[in-house]
């Protein structure tokens, strides 16, 4: 009984959060039914559990934090040191990179003329350039996280406007893969459509990707 | 995870979004400081990005990441070299304000517990947070904090004992629940 009490007393915290394995749980339950001290401890632990659960939790925006992280990875030389560098891009990809860079300059110009959008720092474009091998594929794809409030109808209309269709998703994170129906070489169109998505209030997050042969499939 | 190890930025983004809130939560609860948590969370994620290829896969990805977060938070607390000031607890709006009287005393009791928790060491508080905020088993916590399972059990037991003694000390405003046998 004494031995059991000591062992059980140490296991009690995890009886409360229901993570004991079956045999432990059975032992704890049997002992607690006979031990006033352990029952008393359980009562405090249950209060502790509730107190922690109800405790203050900070409001934090994961997407905003990710933007900061990307900035850091791009500016921080340390980002690439200590890990294998990706393969250098092929000639074709380098050409596409060039074409896309030109398209980005064009898109940037458009945006400056259209309106200043505080939600769209210039770094977003660098992120786009970063995944540029993706646009080398014949079917450009974007990964999109729609706003929680977006209705199915709104999503369908939005996709119709930009000539996109959902080909995969949602992932665990709620991300959909959207294929953009457009000419393969026309990166300016692709960029513009991604920008249109990015500006839509029904979209929380969008990123241009593809199943390009250079990028390993995500997961 | 394998894709992140291979340097796939998109896979990393997804990993980041999946774990950001938990990592932030642990650091925030341990340090009690929003700005510290905000900065440290990306320090943690930088390690994840750089060291993903060394992840052996012996544990769940989440316990590995939380382990990095735990160590960063401990280090920060030591650098701050003073007991972290836990953020003022806001009134719990979720509880019906016109509910029965027992709701009020229950709330007061939980509030006292949270106050008492600020008197615990960072290690003790972390053990409690990992168990009750994040829902980890003692085996997972052992992996996260990098110590034997028995140490986790003992640490949690000592945390509880310390909490009891803190709760039995008189506070400024007495509550009817004082008589409750927490200091047994
Ligand atoms: Zn007992």
CA dist A110 and A103 (Å) reads: 10
Q: How does A46-79 read in b/e, with b if 16+ C-beta sit within 10 Å?
A: ebbbbbbebbeebebebeebbbebbebbbeeeeb
Rounded to the nearest 5 degrees, what angle is found at the Cα of B9, between the Cα atoms of B8 and B12? 95
Is there a contact between B138 and A84 if contact means CB atoms under 8 Å apart?
Answer: no
Is there a contact between B6 and A173 if contact means CB atoms under 8 Å apart?
Answer: no
Pairing of strands A141-146, A203-209: antiparallel
* Beta bridge mates, A206: A144
Q: Quick one: A129 exposed, middle or buried, by C-beta within 10 A (0-12, 13-18, 19+)?
A: middle
CA dist B22 and B26 (Å) reads: 6
Is there a contact between B156 and A37 if contact means CB atoms under 8 Å apart?
Answer: no
Is there a contact between A56 and B90 if contact means CB atoms under 8 Å apart?
Answer: yes
Q: Which residues surround ligand 1, an ion (CB under 5 A)?
A: A 5, 35, 37-38
Tell the CATH topology of B2-80.
Answer: Rna Polymerase Sigma Factor; Chain: A (1.10.1740)
Q: Is the pLDDT of residue B121 over 80?
A: yes
pLDDT per position as a tens digit, A89-137: 443 444 444 455 555 554 544 444 444 443 333 333 333 333 333 333 4
Which CATH number is B100-168 given?
A: 1.10.10.10
Q: Using alpha carbons, select from A47, A28, A14, A9 the residue that is nearest to residue B182.
A: A47
Measured between CA atoms, how close is A195 to chain B, in angstroms? 18
CB atoms within 10 A of CB A194: 23
Contact B20, B38 (CB under 8 A): no
Q: Using alpha carbons, select from A190, A150, A189 the residue that is nearest to residue A170.
A: A150
Q: Is B53 on the interface with A (CB under 8 A)?
A: yes
Contact B25, B134 (CB under 8 A): yes
Confidence class of residue B8 from pLDDT cuts 50, 70 and 90?
confident
pLDDT per position as a tens digit, A48-98: 999 999 887 778 899 999 999 999 888 875 445 445 444 344 434 444 444
Show me where the domains of chain B are located. 2-80, 100-168
Q: Does domain A141-218 have CATH number 3.50.50.60?
A: no
Listed by number, the residues of chain A in 20-59 with a beta carbon closer than 8 Å to a beta carbon of chain B are 20, 37, 40-41, 44-45, 47-58
Ligand 1 centre to CA of A164 (Å) is: 63
Q: Is the pLDDT of residue A22 over 60?
A: yes
Domains B2-80 and B100-168 share a fold: no
- Tokens coding A84: 């294998």
CA dist A89 and A96 (Å) reads: 10
For A21, name the nearest residue in chain B, comparing CA atoms only.
B137
Determine the pLDDT at residue B163: 95
Of B38, B46, B156, the CB nearest to A13: B156
Q: Is the pLDDT of residue A184 over 60?
A: no
Show me where the domains of chain A are located. 2-54, 141-218
Is there a contact between A55 and B133 if contact means CB atoms under 8 Å apart?
Answer: yes
For B137, name the nearest residue in chain A, comparing CA atoms only.
A19
Share of chain A above pLDDT 70, in %: 59
Of A19, A82, A86, the CB nearest to B50: A82
Q: Using alpha carbons, select from A37, A23, A26, A55 the residue that is nearest to residue B128.
A: A55
What value does the mean pLDDT of chain A take? 69
For B138, name the nearest residue in chain A, comparing CA atoms only.
A14
- Which pTM was predicted? 0.59
- Of the residues B3, B5, B11, B13, the best mutation for testing chain A's interface (the one with the most A CB atoms within 10 Å of its CB) is B13
Is there a contact between B132 and A171 if contact means CB atoms under 8 Å apart?
Answer: no
For B3, name the nearest residue in chain A, comparing CA atoms only.
A218
- Tokens coding A96: 């596409």
Residues B96-120, mean pLDDT to the nearest whole number? 78
Q: Rounded to a whole number, what is the distance in angstroms from the first to the last CA of chain B?
A: 48
């Amino acid at each position: 009984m004494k031995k059991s009490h000591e062992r059980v007393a140490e296991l009690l915290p995890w009886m409360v959060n229901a993570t004991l394995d079956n045999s432990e749980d059975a032992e704890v339950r049997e002992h607690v039914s006979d031990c006033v001290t352990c029952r008393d401890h359980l009562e405090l632990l249950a209060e502790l559990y509730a107190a922690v659960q109800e405790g203050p939790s900070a409001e934090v925006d994961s997407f905003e934090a990710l933007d900061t992280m990307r900035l850091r990875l791009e500016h921080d030389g340390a980002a690439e040191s200590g890990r294998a560098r990706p393969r250098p891009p092929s000639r074709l990809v380098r050409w596409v990179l060039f074409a896309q860079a030109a398209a980005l300059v064009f898109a940037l110009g458009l945006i400056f003329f259209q309106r200043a959008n505080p939600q769209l720092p210039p770094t977003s474009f660098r992120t786009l350039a970063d995944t540029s091998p993706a646009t080398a594929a014949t079917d450009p794809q974007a990964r999109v996280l729609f706003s929680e409030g977006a209705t199915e109808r709104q999503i369908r209309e939005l996709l119709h406007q930009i000539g996109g269709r959902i080909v995969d998703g949602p992932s665990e994170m709620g991300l959909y893969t959207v294929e953009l129906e457009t000419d393969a070489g026309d990166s300016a169109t692709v960029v513009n459509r991604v920008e249109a998505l990015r500006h839509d209030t029904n979209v929380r997050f969008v990123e241009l990707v593809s199943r390009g042969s250079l990028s390993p499939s995500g997961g | 995870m394998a894709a992140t190890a291979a340097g796939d930025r998109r896979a990393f983004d997804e990993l980041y979004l999946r774990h950001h809130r938990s990592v932030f939560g642990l650091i925030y609860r341990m340090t009690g400081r929003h700005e510290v948590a905000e900065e440290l969370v990306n320090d943690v994620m930088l390690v994840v990005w750089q060291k993903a290829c060394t992840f052996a896969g012996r544990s769940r990805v989440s316990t590995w990441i939380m382990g990095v977060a735990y160590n960063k938070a401990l280090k920060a607390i030591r650098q701050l070299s003073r007991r972290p000031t836990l953020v003022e607890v806001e009134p719990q709006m979720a509880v019906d304000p016109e509910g029965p009287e027992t709701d009020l005393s229950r709330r007061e009791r939980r509030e006292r517990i949270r106050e008492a928790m600020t008197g615990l060491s960072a290690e003790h508080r972390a053990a409690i947070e990992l168990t009750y905020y994040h829902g980890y088993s003692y085996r997972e916590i052992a992996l996260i904090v990098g110590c034997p399972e028995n140490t986790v059990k003992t640490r949690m037991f000592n945390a509880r004992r310390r909490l009891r003694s803190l709760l039995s000390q008189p506070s400024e405003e007495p509550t009817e629940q004082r008589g409750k046998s927490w200091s047994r």
